[in-house]
Amino acid sequence: LDRYILGFISKERERAILGTKPPGTFLLRFSESSKEGGITFTWVEKDISGKTQIQSVEPYTKQQLNNMSFAEIIMGYKIMDATNILVSPLVYLYPDIPKEEAFSKYCRPESQEHPEPTDPGSSRLPILKCIPYPELLKWNFS
């Protein structure tokens, strides 16, 4: 996971990197503003007029990452779009790695507790449960 984090980069550099990327592209970086240290992610989206917007989340601290894996956060992150539908703005990890390719290896299929579908035409997708990434939890962000 650590090879996917760009390190300490400024917000200006972050905007320069993402400014030419398609919507859904995101990057991971260490936070410069969090006193206890942390990891944040920033993504590209288009507003209603089609203008490129760069959005970020508040940094996740070491304490928060002890409770939930960063892979789980990335895989499950959703926002409300303009039509009030929950969508994931995170599609491609910079420069162009599909999110599932980058993070699914830190997840494992969870046992199905749901009954088998009765409709023979329906497909059954595995439920993924992400597990903490031990190396990340050991990092000292200060």
Summarised one tens digit per residue, pLDDT across range 41-52 is: 999 998 888 899
Give residue-wise pLDDT tens across range 15-69.
Answer: 999 999 999 999 999 887 766 778 889 999 988 888 999 999 888 888 888 887 8
Does the pLDDT value for residue 115 go beyond 70?
Answer: no
pLDDT band at 76 (very low <50, low <70, confident <90, very high): confident
pLDDT for res 55: 92
Structural domains for the chain: 2-138 (3.30.505.10)
**Whole-structure pTM value:** 0.69
CA–CA separation, 44 and 138 (whole Å): 30
pLDDT for res 123: 38
Does the pLDDT value for residue 117 go beyond 90?
Answer: no
